[in-house]
Amino acid sequence: MNLQIIKQLSRTSNKVCLAKNDKGMSVVVKKYQDINTLSIETTILNQLSVSGYAPKIIEMGEDFIIYEYIEGDLLKDKFLLYTMSDNIDGLVRLANELSIFLQIFYTLADNYILKDISFDNFIIKDGRCYGIDYDSVEEGMQYTDIAGVIAYAVTNCAGSIYSAFPFIKRILVNFRYQMIDVINEVRVCLNNSKKIINIDSVLNDLLMIDDKKNEKFLQK
């Protein structure tokens, strides 16, 4: 396939690029150093794209894949915008869209988790959340991912952590967790991210999510 490279998409390396194919269609080229990662990622992409929750693979090489470009918004950008503008409906919707994606992933890839839960690995298009990065998939417990989602939301919301509460609450409800179930794992994620200095105070605030007194942060 003849490709015209348009730009680099990955922030850290040139392994993910946007390109146009000979039919003028936007595609993404992803290069791999490790064949194992390529094999895991293509297996998952193939399964999820059949359900319509991941880009379809168009062509595969020995150390690269060419897959569909999903023209939408990064979950990361929508989450930042909605926490900035206290858009509670928007945050609940985003949490539902991400939850549907995760539930389908867990159904298809039994016993596996995403592990790298960074919100720039998800694209929202027409109310559907697509997963695009399966580099870090490994065997594990779902609550590790859920804790990763909560830790990411806390460290990447605009303003105080209360702005992320409607999103976090909905994630917990969708996965039938109480905050107390995942709090230790959230601590591990926050320790690893090193973005937050006073982790104990954040964890105390998060525990209020299950507290009826704080309905004002949790409308809906």
Ligand X SMILES: Nc1ncnc2c1ncn2[C@@H]1O[C@H](COP(=O)(O)OP(=O)(O)O)[C@@H](O)[C@H]1O
Nearer of residues 30 and 169 to Mg ion, judged by Cβ: 30
Q: How big is the site for Mg ion, counted in residues (CB under 5 A)? A: 2
Burial of 75 (0-12, 13-18, 19+ CB in 10 A): buried
Nearest to 135 by CA among 65, 60, 215: 65
Q: Between β-strands 64-68 and 73-74, what pairing exists: parallel, antiparallel or unpaired? A: unpaired
In angstroms and rounded to an integer, the radius of gyration of the C-alpha atoms of the chain is: 18
Closest contact distance (angstroms) between CB of 146 and ligand X is: 20
Cα–chain center distance at 57: 20
Give Cβ neighbours of residue 1 (< 8 Å, ≥ 6 apart).
21, 22, 58, 59, 66
List the interface residues with Mg ion, window 86-125 (CB under 5 A): 121
List the interface residues with Mg ion, window 29-48 (CB under 5 A): none
Nearest to 170 by CA among 82, 49, 67: 82
Nearer of residues 71 and 215 to ligand X, judged by Cβ: 71
Alpha carbon distance 16, 6 (integer Å): 11
Binding site partner of 178, from Mg ion, ligand X, none, Cβ cut-off 5-8 A by kind: none
Closest contact distance (angstroms) between CB of 105 and ligand X is: 15
Closest contact distance (angstroms) between CB of 36 and ligand X is: 15
Nearer of residues 77 and 133 to Mg ion, judged by Cβ: 133
Closest contact distance (angstroms) between CB of 58 and ligand X is: 10
SS3 at position 9:
coil
Nearer of residues 10 and 219 to ligand X, judged by Cβ: 10
Binding site for ligand X (CB under 6 A): 9-10, 12, 16, 28, 55, 67-70, 74, 120-121, 123, 132-133, 135
Nearer of residues 43 and 214 to Mg ion, judged by Cβ: 43
User: Is residue 133 involved in binding Mg ion (CB under 5 A)?
Assistant: yes
Positions touching Mg ion (CB under 5 A) are: 121, 133
